[in-house]
């Protein structure tokens, strides 16, 4: 059974663990070992502060009562009037279970309720798995890209995807 709820201030460790493990698998191999290790540790510890400031725009999905995926969404940082999915990660153990789709549907419902007609996000160009997931769920690439520098080694290219919010 999949359930989705708003994250609570006490969920920082859970979000951090999901983020660290998923990021380590999806992004880590594209970074230098030093950057990958630092990235995992930073993601493990940053969510307590974010939850203390802005828990209202973070959803946590559970599969059979076990936390498995989370998303942070809100107003776009680059496209006025649009929503943006700022963070979307699922624990590798639940990939393919349907939890990510259920979480995405909940995010889309929330951004629609907030009055947004469209939503966009950025994902790694070299993450075929993420790009397939978003395409399967109605997102299309906009053609916009930008580099993200994780601090050492070559910057990684991000691609922008967008879709209309259902019912808007």
Output the pLDDT for position 54: 74
Task: Give me the domains of the chain, ranges plus CATH numbers.
Answer: 2-164 (3.40.630.30)
Strands 2-6 and 58-63 turn out to be antiparallel
- Residues 57-81: tens digit of each pLDDT: 999 999 999 999 999 999 999 999 9
Among residues 36, 67, 66, 30, which one has the least CA distance to residue 147? 30
CB 134 within 8 A of CB 158: no
E strand spans, the chain: 2-6, 58-63, 66-75, 83-90, 118-124, 140-148, 156-164
Q: How confident is the model at residue 39, as a pLDDT? A: 73
CA separation for the pair 139, 124 (Å, rounded):
14
Collapsing DSSP states into helix, strand and coil, what is residue 128?
Answer: helix
Helix/strand/coil for 152: coil
CB 159 within 8 A of CB 141: yes
pLDDT tens readout for residues 97-148: 999 999 999 999 999 999 999 999 999 999 989 999 999 999 999 999 999 8
- pTM assigned to the model: 0.91
β-bridge mates for residue 87, sequence order: 72
Give the confidence band of 156 by pLDDT, cuts at 50, 70, 90: confident
Q: What percent of the chain has pLDDT over 90?
A: 65
The per-residue pLDDT for range 93-105, each reduced to its tens digit, is: 999 999 999 999 9
């Amino acid at each position: 059974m999949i359930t989705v709820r708003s994250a609570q201030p006490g969920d920082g460790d859970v979000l951090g663990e999901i983020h660290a493990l998923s990021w380590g698998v999806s992004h880590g191999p594209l970074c230098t070992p030093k950057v990958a290790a630092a990235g995992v540790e930073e993601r493990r510890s940053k969510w307590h502060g974010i939850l203390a400031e802005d828990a209202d725009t973070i959803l946590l999905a559970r599969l059979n009562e076990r936390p498995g995926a989370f998303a942070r969404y809100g107003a776009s940082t680059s496209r006025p009037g649009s929503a943006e999915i700022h963070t979307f990660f699922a624990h590798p153990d639940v990939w393919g279970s349907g939890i990510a789709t259920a979480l995405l549907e909940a995010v889309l419902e929330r951004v629609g309720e907030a009055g947004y007609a469209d939503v966009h996000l950025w994902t790694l160009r070299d993450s075929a798995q993420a790009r397939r997931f978003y395409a399967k769920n109605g997102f299309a690439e906009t053609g916009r890209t930008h580099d993200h520098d994780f601090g050492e080694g070559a910057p990684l290219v991000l691609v922008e995807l967008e879709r209309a919010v259902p019912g808007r």
